Amino acid sequence: MNVGIDQISFHVPNFYVDMVDLANARNVDPNKFLIGIGQEKMAVNPKSQDIITFATNAAKQILTDDDLNKIDLIIVGTESSIDESKAAAVVLHRLLDIQPFARSFEVKEACYAGTAGLQMALNHVRLHPDKKALVIATDIAKYGLNSGGEPTQGAGAVAILVAANPKILVIHEESLALTQDIYDFWRPTNQAYPLVDGPLSNETYIQSFNQVWNTYNQQFNQQISDYQALLFHIPYTKMGKKALQSVLPTADQITQERLLQHYEDSIQYSRQVGNLYTGSLYLGLISLLENSQDLKTTQKIGLFSYGSGAVAEFFTASLVNGYQEHLHHSLHQNLLNERKRLSIEEYEKMFEDSLDVNVDQEFSDTYPYSIQSIHNTIRQYRK
Ligand code: COA
């Protein structure tokens, strides 16, 4: 039985910083950010919008009444959790009006968490093909003003509906995960920003990719020419390209051109929003599907998921005939085009204006599912 992605969509907050403005403010050559890092814009959220706001907006766009009745599993992958105990998935379950007899929980392993959730959801639907599962990867990537990671920040969510006989993408059962206890990026409890060893994270990312890529292809008898596209976790768009370039010399000219072109298609949205942490790989998938004209249902797509710390996984998928009819291209284009550009002064003010849940307050932001008020540390969302 085929199980995979029946629906997929993303949401980002309605503010962004232009990377040329940021480079000028930080006395850096803009080409370092535009070419060296590979980013044009970076999504920024006001304190009235959080991971629940992004997740609800992303999921609302894709769920029908029939889906709401069939979903019995909701998994949120995040490393920007808003509660040490209660799962964001429980709040989402209510905001989305999903039928009550469901399992709802949150998973964590840096930028890998969304994939952990997706694999669990796939196995759940393989066992219960009459049910559906909702997986949401939602995060706020914040490294701090003037930090080394500042140009690789971003915010937003990807929502994925998993079902049997999916309309968009069949995900194959064969996959290969790799765990290594490495401190390349971590965020101790109660610390606002992560601690990151940038060069080590880049190195571990490439090394992990090469390990799972080589072993997967040996175990499952695949070669690079079998793939029409390789998708990567995209902390910044240059990162995935470096990983891709590490294996391209093993491919013939036609395969190299195809993989490079499809990589460019897969980073269109990431260039405009920055790092979504655990949603980044899936934002790349949406970008590939919505911006590529020559994808085939007969050839595989490879996906590389990476979460610092570190867990990596490589798995593959195949497109379903007619998948184009189930995408949300114009909705996503409008979302990106209608955002407000912040001056660096506005961005810095928004960045430092952090939410204090110990202060009861009301918010005037009318953005869908933004925080309406805080009372007794509890966030109420605008429905
Ligand atoms: N024009 C074009 N390219 C330029 C440039 C210019 N004027 N100036 C610098 N560059 C290039 C560099 O050559 C380098 O390219 P390369 O990696 O292909 O060699 C790139 O820009 C980045 O420069 P670098 O000096 O390495 O940047 P940095 O010290 O500011 O660190 C990160 C970059 C990504 C390590 C840092 O932003 C970071 O720590 N990010 C968070 C962690 C992360 O995302 N890790 C990824 C794995 S999860």
113-142 pLDDT, tens digit per residue, is: 999 999 999 999 999 999 999 999 999 999
Nearest to 145 by CA among 353, 341, 351: 351
Nearest to 278 by CA among 242, 237, 306, 239: 306
Per-residue CA distances from 353 to 45, 60, 264, 325, 335 (Å): 10, 28, 35, 41, 24
Q: What is the pLDDT at residue 284? A: 98
For ligand 1, mutation pick of 29, 35, 37 (most atoms within 8 Å of CB):
37
Per-residue CA distances from 227 to 8, 83, 238, 316 (Å): 22, 40, 21, 9
Which residues are CB-contacts of 216 (< 8 A; sequence separation ≥ 6)?
A: 174, 175, 176, 222, 314
- Which residue's CA is minimally distant from atom 15 of ligand 1? 36
Q: How far is the CA of 258 from the centre of ligand 1 (A)?
A: 26
- From the CA of 197, give the closest atom in ligand 1: 39
Residue range 341-381, pLDDT digits in tens: 999 999 999 999 999 999 999 999 999 999 999 999 999 99
- From the CA of 151, give the closest atom in ligand 1: 37
Whether this prediction's pTM lies above 0.75 is answered by: yes
Q: Which residues are catalytic?
A: 79, 111, 233
For 358, what's the count of Cα atoms within 13 Å in the CB-facing half-sphere? 0
CA 236 – CA 333 distance, rounded (Å) = 20
Per-residue CA distances from 129 to 67, 70, 114, 157, 213 (Å): 13, 10, 21, 26, 30
Residues in the chain with pLDDT < 50?
none
Q: How far is the CA of 2 from the centre of ligand 1 (A)?
A: 40
Tokens found for residue 383: 């429905």
CA 97 – CA 111 distance, rounded (Å) = 27
Q: What share of the chain is helix, strand, coil (3-state, %, to 5)?
A: 40, 25, 35
- Which residue's CA is minimally distant from atom 43 of ligand 1? 198
Q: What is the pLDDT at residue 383? A: 87
Does ligand 1 come within 6 angstroms of the Cβ of 35? yes
Q: How far is the CA of 36 from the centre of ligand 1 (A)?
A: 6
**DSSP conformational letter for 225:** G
- Which residue's CA is minimally distant from atom 28 of ligand 1? 148
- Which residue's CA is minimally distant from atom 35 of ligand 1? 198
Q: How far is the CA of 37 from the centre of ligand 1 (A)?
A: 5
Does ligand 1 come within 6 angstroms of the Cβ of 269? no
